[in-house]
Amino acid sequence: MNKYKFIMQNLKAGFRQPVKNEDGFYLIIISDKDRHGNYRTSLWYDTLEECKEYIGSGYGYSNLEKQCQDWEILEPYFPIQEEALPVGSFVKVKDDAEEICGKYNYNWYKTIKEMIGKVYKIEESNLKGVSINDWWFPLQAITPVMEEEEEDEKKALETLKKKGWKIKGECLVK
């Protein structure tokens, strides 16, 4: 596979693609496009960390296929991979999780199918996925959600409002 096809495959899958030019400068190409339909970039910097600070600030290359031939293609990463999701966070298994798990070679069993659309607490986490109920999911198959306790608090406040209580500042009044 040539460099351009590799970059395009990664961008279409939502990954960020770091590259290095012959002068030793770094650039990150992202899956968002500019107004001309070109994939946006960071600007060229001495380090990848500097590039990450300016993700999307550069316009895309209209001649990316030609430009990229002189670049060193570095390991692509999924945007959320800059930090692992914290253990104890709540996530929901996406509706298309089975397809995504297959794409990333994660095991899929009938018992996992019952988890679709439900909220779970993360037991283990790394930069590629999370473990919930002893099953590993790629990050693309889950979505972070508000903690259940906060949802319970909102439901309790709604119940109190229905019973005539009002919120005034930080207090409940009748």
Map 65-95 to HEC letters.
HHHHHHCEECCCECHHHHCCCCCCCEEEECC
For 62, 93, 144, 162, the CA distances from 118, given in Å and listed in that order, are 42, 6, 11, 28
Could you tell me the residue ranges of all domains in the chain? 3-77, 80-174
Confidence at residue 141, expressed as pLDDT on a 0 to 100 scale:
83
Give the chain's radius of gyration (CA, Å): 22
Residue corresponding to tokens 């990333």: 104
In this structure, what are the phi and psi dihedrals at residue 76, rounded to the nearest 5 degrees? Answer: -70, 155
Question: 171 φ, ψ to 5°?
Answer: -115, 155
Return the pLDDT at 149. Answer: 45
CA distance 152 to 150: 5
Give the residue from 62, 82, 67, 104 showing the smallest Cα distance to 16. 82
Closest CA to 143 of 134, 133, 132: 132
**Per the structure block, which two tokens stand in for 40?**
């946006």
Mean pLDDT of the chain: 80
Q: What is the pLDDT of residue 55?
A: 85
List of the chain residues with pLDDT < 70: 1, 80-85, 127, 146-157, 160, 166-174
**Quick check: helix, strand or coil at residue 156?**
helix
Contact 48, 82 (CB under 8 A): no
DSSP classification of residue 127: S
- The reported pTM is 0.50
Q: Above pLDDT 70, what percent of the chain?
A: 82
Q: Are strands 72-73 and 90-93 parallel, antiparallel or unpaired?
A: unpaired
